[in-house]
Amino acid sequence: MATFFDLQEKNRKKTRLIVVCFVLFFIWLGAGLDLTFFFWSGGAVQTAGQGYRHAYTPITPAGTSAAREKHFRPIFTIIVGLAGLGLAWWNMSHASSTLLSAMFARPADKRRSLEEQTLTNVVEEMCIASSIPPPKVWVIPDSDPNALAVGLNYGDYHIAVTEGLLRTLNRDELQGVVAHELAHLKNQDTRLMTAMTVLVGLAALISEYVGRSRFYRISTDAEDSKIGAVIFALWILSVLIASLATKLMALMVSREREYLADASAAQFTRNPEALAHALEKMASATSPTALVKPASAHLCIVSPTAADIDYSDENSWFATHPPIKARIYRLMTIGKPATGI
């Protein structure tokens, strides 16, 4: 029996692993530099009597002191760590309002129409089912059916659906979609996704900077600093592929999270078929969700560019969402005997 509890547990484990890799990678980003300078400065002490003939010496921290001892100084580990923290904090404190206003979202009003009354009711029902505080409900004036959740902390929860979604889905299907979005909030996916976005941005920034700068193209004295050279070479390599790797990992997290939210939605509604039908309807509306920018694509329940409707395994590495067909299949098989997906 594949219950939703099993699915949630499996997804959580995978995501935890990916996040740990992320963190380790960023520590390596800083530590690699530190280790390199540590070993190189060791070489500098040995050759100090012969004068400053090494071109790299000026960029070594405090490298001009000839008589100094070997000290390991985690300067770059700290700098990279702090920069990451700062960027994360800045993004966290601005994300929700920026995203929502960029999509021209307006607050849902119970008295405006029966559809919006139903929407607010469904959101409140699902909050009871999922035991989370009610989020603010927004409507995006876009005719393509889509939905997304934004939120960082308890008390800063937002759910936005498009007008097209309200028109297209019936009550049960809307319930499934809302449950999916609430699951993202409850599992703190939106928070995780913001963190991922920050990490990708930071990695790309570093990668680009290192790629353009020339400070690593300094010849090294192999006798003095073999270990340093090896570590530095590894570091350069890892930084250069950082942008790609972090992007891939972020997307992998995003895809896993969609499956997890689907499973949680099934738990909250006890009606996985309704969400499956909703996904089918959203897939059949092929027009892109114009008001959702590509940068926020991973927040949506289905890809706003409709890229998840029909793609093969090769390019699914670069997708923000798992294929809709795979999600529908998983939803339809919840609670049924496993057939080995």
Binding stretches for another protein (CB under 8 A): 114, 117-118, 121-122, 124-126, 128-131, 170-172, 175, 267-268, 270
CA distance 269 to 177: 10
CA distance 99 to 224: 52
SS (H, E, C) 26-48: HHHHHHHHHHHHHHHHHHHHHCH
**Of 19 and 129, CB closest to another protein:** 129
∠ CA 103-106-111 to the nearest 5 degrees?
155
Q: Which positions are annotated as active-site residues? A: 181
Q: How near is the Cβ of 217 to another protein at its closest, in Å?
A: 49
**Dihedral angle sign, alpha carbons of residues 243, 247, 250, 256:** negative
Tokens of 27: 């520590």
3-class SS of residue 147 = strand
CA distance 336 to 293: 38
**Of 103 and 285, CB closest to another protein:** 285
Look up residue 300 and give its DSSP letter.
B
**Of 68 and 171, CB closest to another protein:** 171
**Of 225 and 267, CB closest to another protein:** 267
Q: How near is the Cβ of 282 to another protein at its closest, in Å?
A: 16
H-helix or E-strand containing 161?
Answer: strand 157-162
Q: How near is the Cβ of 136 to another protein at its closest, in Å?
A: 18
Q: Tell me the chain's radius of gyration from C-alpha atoms.
A: 25
Query: What residues are paired with 148 via a beta bridge?
Result: 160, 300
Q: How near is the Cβ of 263 to another protein at its closest, in Å?
A: 14
Q: How near is the Cβ of 120 to another protein at its closest, in Å?
A: 9
CA distance 82 to 202: 12
Question: Is the separation of the CB atoms in 304 and 289 below 8 Å?
Answer: yes
**Of 267 and 303, CB closest to another protein:** 267
**Of 129 and 326, CB closest to another protein:** 129
| CB-side neighbour CA atoms (13 Å) of 197 | 19
Q: How near is the Cβ of 128 to another protein at its closest, in Å?
A: 5
Backbone angles phi, psi at 5, to 5 degrees: -65, -40
Query: What residues are paired with 312 via a beta bridge?
Result: none
**Of 47 and 120, CB closest to another protein:** 120
Q: How near is the Cβ of 174 to another protein at its closest, in Å?
A: 10
CA distance 130 to 37: 51
CA distance 161 to 228: 54
Closest to 99 in 3D by CA, of 184, 189, 160, 143: 160
